[in-house]
Amino acid sequence: MTASTLASRSRHVLALMIAAGSVLACITPDALAQEGRRRRGGDQEAKPVQLSPEQTDQLTKIATDRKLNVDDLLSAAKTYMPSGRHDDYVLFSSGGQSGQVFAIGVPSMRLLRSISVFTPESWQGYGFAGEADRVIDSLKINGKVVAWGDTHHPALSETKGDYDGQFLFIGDKANSRIGVIDLRDWETKQVVKNPLTVSDHGGAFVTPNTEYVIEGGQYATVLGYGYAPIEEYKKSYRGMVTLWKFDRAKGRIDVANSFALELPPYWQDLADAGKNASDGFFFLNSFNAEMATGGIEKGNPPFEAGASKRDMDYLHIVDWRKAEAAFKAGKAKMINGFAVLSMETTAAEGILHLAPEPKSPHGVDVTPNGQFMVVAGKLDPHVTVYSIDRIKAAIASKKYSGTDDYGLPILDFDAVKEAQVELGLGPLHTQFDDKGYAYTSLFLDSAVARWTLGGEYDSLNPEPAWKLVHKTPVQYNIGHLCAAEGDSASPDGKYLISMSKWSVDRFLTTGPLLPQNFQLLDIGSTGTTMPVIYDMPIGVGEPHYCQMIKADKLQSWKVYPEVGWNPHTQSLDPNAPKKGQEGVVRDGSNVIINMTAIRSHFSPEHVEVNEGDHVTWRIVAAETAQDATHGFCIGGYNINLSLEPGEYTEFTFTADKPGTYPFYCTEFCSALHLEMMGYLHIKPKGTK
Ligand code: K7E
Ligand code: CUA
């Protein structure tokens, strides 16, 4: 081939690529979606499956070669999603120490996305927007950027006790923070830091209409970052539970209208809000009613022995409407700038009652009708079930067995207890289905237990009430579990996730650090058994809790509503540059760059600034097609943005290191993606 034919051929190829690029740019999302449906046949009517003798032979051969039995084939059929077919449920899982949330499709168990909350992550452009990044700013605690979190409990927003698909909250145990995610664009909008405590645990949980996001504490401290020697534990250390007021219209926690309850220095654990019959209450476990202070180095009993000595700890029963009334009546005092109802107030106003609960419980879970609270104690093979009717009656008739050291009334155990059900070793957490069954994780047994509820649920299943009916082994050491909408007022049944903490031999070895194992159990289609039908390794952080929502409840945006949209304010941004307004505006050493990004160029392509300039860079992704995302990075300046269709972003930096910096698009957006770049010229001081 001669040089000239080579040149003409490459011109031809280039022309084709540009043509392809502009065709792509004008295809509408609907057209793409239609094309996708046509190709995959995903909308076709389901036809009865009929295997030909050849197909049966083929299937048998594959199963034999791959050593699959019939149960394996059934599991595969229950979980396999043909290309283009969408899952029925979305699982929002805590990402543990990754500080993120993971979204996983069920039943396929495909990871759909991560959502950064407490940990900056570059693909999402979360925390990489220069010097005045609002994300980095929101992660500051006492002036320090704390750029990770130990996420434990996600909570979907609820309406009448059912997931409404609008918001997701997640707690950071290590740093006592709550993140707020807007499920229209799946982005974190707010991180609030609790000014009372260093760390927490019982959060996030929402009240039935998301009036409040509840954050229970854990390890007692001197509230408000105070100090006292450990010898003054009983006198000065305190627990807390915080009620964060949620403003649904703004999509933000309203800190000024939030408040906390001072609690005894028992280590409060998980919480759950009442609903239906128990609407207006929430419940909180505790596990160090002994108020052990450890000190193994001084010959004292270690924490794990000291905190498990007594047979009973305390379930905390909070009437949050009474608490709200006391707060609104000005009965709170301020600690570190935050409103707190003291224990004297909560006792005097009848806001807080304690009830004995067996040995170091972990989970407390309210049944869908709100009638019962299920408490599982890791050192007791039973779950203990409380009834809200009994609790209300005991409170009304003051059926106390005494008061604790802080003057809080303790309800008589036998008066409030409905049942105890023996399930096995190490029961932790409980969820529910639509057939009157409860499911409890058994950490030490490595199993999921199915058992029957009583009361109104009696008629729903054939077995006697309050009875263990089945156990499925899981691999291994299950912590939380999660059934489809299984902690809401109307669970779906069908699927259950075992969040197995140890995976040991389930996957290829990944060095000494192994993934956790999310196991999918079929709890809907098999009658009495509930087999494990999928193992999904989670190799990013150690998740704790997750919630599974029906996919069609999510009203997620496909693109931002308008070009120039600011995801932080969820409105059109007046500063967003429009097409034709691109360029550099200088005011002394303050420089504003107005830029648009559309396949396959940034405009302007050359940006000149002087060393020492303070640069404000504004970019609009002028795209309207679904998935036409661009990135924008400047190497060496720690900047990377995700520019989703329609999105407006701004970042600032000081041009303190002169040089020639290529900036480029970090998403492979088009055939000419590599050409989607430009140069930032930072002229050294003194350059003419
Ligand atoms: Cu791991 Cu809910 Cu924090 Cu139990 S918690 S396992
Ligand atoms: Cu835009 Cu790659």
**Residue 545 CA to ligand 1 centre (angstroms):** 7
The confidence score (pLDDT) of residue 421 equals 98
The CB density around residue 252, as the number of other CB atoms within 10 Å, is 16
What is the average per-residue pLDDT within 347-368? 95
pLDDT in tens, 379-416: 899 999 999 999 999 999 999 999 999 999 999 999 99
**Residue 124 CA to ligand 1 centre (angstroms):** 27
Residue nearest to atom 1 of ligand 1 (CA): 544
The confidence score (pLDDT) of residue 13 equals 44
Residue nearest to atom 1 of ligand 2 (CA): 630
**Residue 478 CA to ligand 1 centre (angstroms):** 10
Atom of ligand 2 nearest to the CA of 630: 1
pLDDT in tens, 420-432: 999 999 999 999 9
pLDDT at residue 49 tops 70: yes
pLDDT in tens, 306-321: 988 888 999 999 999 9
What is the average per-residue pLDDT within 648-677? 97
Least distant ligand from the CA of 269? 1
* Residues ≥6 apart with Cβ < 8 Å to 610: 589, 655, 682, 683, 685, 687
Compute the distance between CA of residue 453 and CA of residue 464 in angstroms, rounded to an integer.
9
The confidence score (pLDDT) of residue 46 equals 72
> How long, in residues, is the chain?
688
What is the average per-residue pLDDT within 32-55? 68
Measured in degrees and rounded to the nearest 5, phi and psi for residue 214 equal -95, 135
pLDDT in tens, 131-141: 999 999 999 99
Tokens representing residue 427 in the block: 């029961």
Atom of ligand 2 nearest to the CA of 673: 2
Mean pLDDT of the chain: 94
Looking at domain 565-683, its CATH architecture is Sandwich (2.60)
480 within ligand 1 shell (Cβ under 6 A)? yes
Q: Per-residue confidence at 42, pLDDT binned at 50, 70, 90? A: low
**Residue 437 CA to ligand 1 centre (angstroms):** 22
Domain ranges of the chain: 81-193+541-556, 565-683
171 within ligand 1 shell (Cβ under 6 A)? no
Tokens representing residue 470 in the block: 């089945």
**Residue 116 CA to ligand 2 centre (angstroms):** 22
479 within ligand 1 shell (Cβ under 6 A)? yes
Least distant ligand from the CA of 643? 2
**Residue 205 CA to ligand 1 centre (angstroms):** 13
Tokens representing residue 256 in the block: 């000024």
359 within ligand 1 shell (Cβ under 6 A)? no
The confidence score (pLDDT) of residue 35 equals 52
Percent of the chain residues past pLDDT 90, beyond the cut: 90
The confidence score (pLDDT) of residue 24 equals 42
Q: With beta carbons less than 8 A apart as the criterion, state whether 205 and 212 touch.
A: no
The confidence score (pLDDT) of residue 44 equals 56
The CB density around residue 483, as the number of other CB atoms within 10 Å, is 28
pLDDT in tens, 478-528: 999 999 999 999 999 999 999 999 999 999 999 999 999 999 999 999 888
The confidence score (pLDDT) of residue 17 equals 42
The confidence score (pLDDT) of residue 26 equals 42
The confidence score (pLDDT) of residue 688 equals 78
pLDDT at residue 29 tops 80: no
DSSP category for residue 345: H
pLDDT at residue 554 tops 80: yes
Least distant ligand from the CA of 644? 2
* Residue list, ligand 2 pocket, CB within 6 Å: 630, 665, 667-669, 673, 676
Residue nearest to atom 5 of ligand 1 (CA): 544
**Residue 480 CA to ligand 1 centre (angstroms):** 6
Specify the long-range contacts of residues 126-132, CB closer than 8 Å, at least 24 apart.
126/187, 126/188, 128/638, 128/639, 128/640, 128/641, 129/639, 129/641, 129/649, 129/650, 129/651, 130/617, 130/637, 130/638, 130/639, 130/651, 130/652, 130/653, 131/652, 131/653, 131/654, 132/651, 132/652
Segment among 25-29, 482-486, 572-576, 612-616 with least mean pLDDT:
25-29
Atom of ligand 1 nearest to the CA of 544: 1
The confidence score (pLDDT) of residue 78 equals 97
The confidence score (pLDDT) of residue 136 equals 97
Q: Name the residue of 151, 480, 499 whose CB sits within 8 Å of the most ligand 1 atoms, as the mutation to test its pocket.
A: 480
pLDDT at residue 27 tops 50: no
The confidence score (pLDDT) of residue 12 equals 52
pLDDT at residue 542 tops 90: yes
In the beta sheet, which residues pair with residue 242? 215, 260
What is the average per-residue pLDDT within 225-239? 98
Residue located via tokens 């009965």: 331
Atom of ligand 2 nearest to the CA of 670: 2
Q: Where are the beta strands (DSSP E) in 264-348?
A: 268-273, 281-286, 312-319, 333-335, 338-341
pLDDT in tens, 431-447: 999 999 999 999 999 99
**Residue 82 CA to ligand 1 centre (angstroms):** 34
Least distant ligand from the CA of 677? 2
**Residue 479 CA to ligand 1 centre (angstroms):** 6
The CB density around residue 238, as the number of other CB atoms within 10 Å, is 24
